[in-house]
Amino acid sequence: MNSKEIRHEAAKDYLMYIDGKWVEAEGGKYFSTYSPASGETIGRIPEGSRNDAVKAIHAARRAAESFRDVSVWERSELLKRVAAVIEKRKDELAYILTLDQGKPYYSESVYEIANMAKTYLEAAEQIKWLETPVIPVEDRNKRVFSIRQPKGVYAVITPWNFPFMIPTEYLSAGLAAGNTIVWVPAPTTSICAVKLMECFEEAGMPRGVVNLVTGRGDVVGDEIVSNPGTDAIGFTGSSATGKQIAIRGAGKPLLLELGGNGPTIVLKDADIDYAAKSIAAACFSNAGQVCSSTERILAHRDVYDSFVGKMVEQARQIKLGDPFERATTMGPLNNYPVVEKNVLHAEDGRKRGANILTGGAVAQEFPGGLYFQPTVVADVTPECLYNAEETFGPVAPIMPFDSHEEALDIAGRNQWGLVNAVYTNSLRDSMYFAEKLRAGIVNINENSNYWEPHIPFGGVAGKSSGLGRVGGKYSIMEMSDLKTICMNIR
C-alpha cells in the first residue's frame, strides 16, 4: 500500500470529543490537514474556539467529582481496556500515524503504537503498587501518613512528533492518578488525536473524563492553560511555548517537557564503528524530529576524521522516501516551519565555515517540499546555529575538541539540558562526564534516543528543557498530590 491509496480511505471531516460526545466547533469552523508525504489534503479538523475549550473544561470538572472516587483497581481496569482496544486497532492506528505525521510505517509507526499500548498497561500496574509512607514522628500521640490524590482537571497540550506516544505519557499517568483531562493536540496531527479518543470511547471511559479540543494552540491551548477551571498543566513542546504557558498558567502545578540539543561526546578511546552506527540512529530516526535527537556531536580530534567519514557512510545508507514503502527508513518532515529551520541552519553553517559533507537541502525529487536530505556537517563551530539552537531535523553536526574541559565547555554553551550521551571505553571518563554534564539524562555508550516508558525523563534545572519528570510512576507522582494526614490518637 502507498500513501495515495491510504489518503482516499481517511479523507473526511473529523469531530472533537467533549463530554462523551462527538461535536463540531462553534460556528462549524474547520481547518484542512495534509499528508506530509504527498502534500495532499487528508481531512478537515474542527477549529475550536475559546468557548469550545470552556465547554470541555466544564465537562472535565463535572466528571472530576465522580472520577476521583473511582477505585484504583477500577481505574487500572479502564486503562487495560484502552490498551486492549489499541492492540486490536494497531494496524489502523499505525497507518493513520504515518499518514498524519509522516514517519515510516514499517520501521517506526508500528513501534510507536506498540509502545503506546504498553504504556497504558504499565500505568495500570504502576498505580496499583504505588505505596505512600507512614512517617515516624517525635510526638507519641500522633500517627502521620500520606495518601495520593488526583490534582483535579489537567490541561494537556502536546506536539506533533509523537502524536500518540506523548499524549499517552500524560493520559495514562493522569488517569491512573484519578484526574480528568482536557487535551489540545498539535494541529498538524489532529487526526491521530481523534483516533485515540475513539479508542477511549470504545474502551468505555466514563463521559467527560477525557475531552479533546482541536484548533490553534494560542486560542484553545491558551484557554485551557489560563482558565481557572483547570487545576494543573502538562505540556510537551518548544521551550518558547513552554515559557509562555508558564506565564499564562502561573500558580498551577506544571509538568513541562521542552526542547533539547544534546550533545553527544565521542572520546578518543571509543569504539568508532559502533559509535557512528549508534549515533546515526539518533540523528535520523523520525527524521530527527525528537527532543532527544542527537543534534550536535563533539568528537575528539584524534578520532575526528575517521568518525566523520563513518557518519557520512551511515547517512548515505538512509533510504529517504514514501513512508508507506517497506524499504523507506526516513520520511518527510512534518511541516514547513521545520523545513525552513533546517534550511536556515544549513545556510548559517555554510556562512560560518562548516562543511556540509552530504545532504543539507530539500530533496526535490519528492512531492510537497517536506523531504529533507540526511545531512552530515563537519567543522561546526560553537557559534553555529547547529550548536546554539535545536534544529529538529535529520542532521549530524560534528565539532572537534581536544580535552575533557573543552568538551564540557562547548556542551554547556547553550540553553538546553535534556539528554546527553558519551561514547568511551573508560569507566572513569564515563562517570566524569555522567556527573559533570548539565542534563536530565546521560547515556553512556548508548545514543541519546534510548528510553523506555517507565524511565524518568526531563530537563535539568537552570536550562530551558523543562520541569518535572515523565515516565511510569514518576509521571503518576507528578500528576497527583501527596496529602499528609496527621491523627492525634490521645
Interface stretch with ligand NAD, choices 130-138, 252-260, 429-437, 443-451 (CB under 6 A): 252-260
Secondary element (H or E) of residue 240: helix 239-248
Q: Which is nearer to ligand NAD, 33 or 76 (CB)?
A: 33
Give min distance, CB of 259 to ligand NAD, in A: 3
Give min distance, CB of 117 to ligand NAD, in A: 19
Residues 348-407 that bind ligand NAD (CB under 6 A): 390, 392
Secondary element (H or E) of residue 17: strand 16-18
Contact 287, 281 (CB under 8 A): no
Phi and psi dihedrals of 63, rounded to 5?
-70, -30
Give min distance, CB of 146 to ligand NAD, in A: 28
Rule CB under 6 A: choose which of 43, 46, 104, 159 binds ligand NAD: 159
Give min distance, CB of 460 to ligand NAD, in A: 12
Secondary element (H or E) of residue 156: strand 153-157
Give min distance, CB of 272 to ligand NAD, in A: 28
Residue 102 interacts with ligand NAD (CB under 6 A): yes or no: no
In the annotation, is 257 catalytic? yes
Q: Which is nearer to ligand NAD, 128 or 243 (CB)?
A: 243
Closest residue to ligand NAD, Cβ-based? 217
Give min distance, CB of 312 to ligand NAD, in A: 26
Q: Nearest to residue 102, comparing CAs of 369, 352, 301?
A: 369
Q: Which is nearer to ligand NAD, 117 or 258 (CB)?
A: 258
Rule CB under 6 A: choose which of 48, 163, 221, 263 binds ligand NAD: 221
Give min distance, CB of 130 to ligand NAD, in A: 22
Contact 354, 380 (CB under 8 A): yes
C-alpha cell at position 314 = 551511515
Secondary element (H or E) of residue 466: strand 466-467
- For the chain, the helix, strand and coil percentages under 3-state DSSP, each to the nearest 5: 45, 20, 35
Residue 238 interacts with ligand NAD (CB under 6 A): yes or no: yes
Rule CB under 6 A: choose which of 48, 259, 321, 374 binds ligand NAD: 259
Question: Could you count the other beta carbons within 10 Å of the beta carbon of residue 235?
Answer: 28
Binding flags for ligand NAD, 406-425, as an x/- string (CB under 6 A):
------------x-------
Residues 173-202 that bind ligand NAD (CB under 6 A): 184-187
Secondary element (H or E) of residue 257: strand 254-257
What is the CA 372 to chain-centroid distance, rounded? 21
Range list of β-strands (E), 351-456 = 355-358, 375-378, 395-401, 419-423, 441-444
Q: Choose, from 223, 257, 295, 478, the residue flagged as catalytic.
A: 257
Contact 220, 50 (CB under 8 A): yes
Q: Which is nearer to ligand NAD, 242 or 349 (CB)?
A: 242
Interface stretch with ligand NAD, choices 124-132, 257-265, 300-308, 423-431 (CB under 6 A): 257-265
Per DSSP, 255 falls in state E
254-257 and 232-236: which strand pairing? parallel
Rule CB under 6 A: choose which of 83, 193, 225, 477 binds ligand NAD: 225
Question: Could you count the other beta carbons within 10 Å of the beta carbon of residue 409?
Answer: 12
User: What does the alpha-carbon distance between residue 296 and residue 269 come to, in Å, rounded to a whole number?
Assistant: 19
Residue 466 interacts with ligand NAD (CB under 6 A): yes or no: yes
Contact 135, 354 (CB under 8 A): no
Rule CB under 6 A: choose which of 36, 48, 174, 217 binds ligand NAD: 217
Q: Which is nearer to ligand NAD, 177 or 186 (CB)?
A: 186
Residue given cell 500524560 in the structure block: 170
Q: Choose, from 108, 291, 295, 384, the residue flagged as catalytic.
A: 291
Angle CA 22–28–34, to nearest 5: 80
Question: Could you count the other beta carbons within 10 Å of the beta carbon of residue 437?
Answer: 22
Contact 76, 127 (CB under 8 A): yes
In the annotation, is 169 catalytic? no
User: What does the alpha-carbon distance between residue 245 and residue 233 come to, in Å, rounded to a whole number?
Assistant: 9
Residue 263 interacts with ligand NAD (CB under 6 A): yes or no: no
Rule CB under 6 A: choose which of 157, 199, 315, 318 binds ligand NAD: 157
Contact 30, 13 (CB under 8 A): yes
Interface stretch with ligand NAD, choices 1-9, 236-244, 295-303, 425-433 (CB under 6 A): 236-244
Rule CB under 6 A: choose which of 47, 100, 257, 389 binds ligand NAD: 257
Residue 294 interacts with ligand NAD (CB under 6 A): yes or no: no
Q: Nearest to residue 333, comparing CAs of 160, 451, 111?
A: 160
Rule CB under 6 A: choose which of 161, 294, 424, 443 binds ligand NAD: 161
Secondary element (H or E) of residue 356: strand 355-358
C-alpha cell at position 378 = 563537519
Give min distance, CB of 110 to ligand NAD, in A: 20
Residue 244 interacts with ligand NAD (CB under 6 A): yes or no: yes
Residue 155 interacts with ligand NAD (CB under 6 A): yes or no: no
Active site residue ranges: 257, 291
Which residues of the chain form contacts with ligand NAD (CB under 6 A)?
157-161, 166, 184-187, 217-218, 221-222, 225, 236-238, 241, 244-245, 257-260, 291, 390, 392, 418, 466
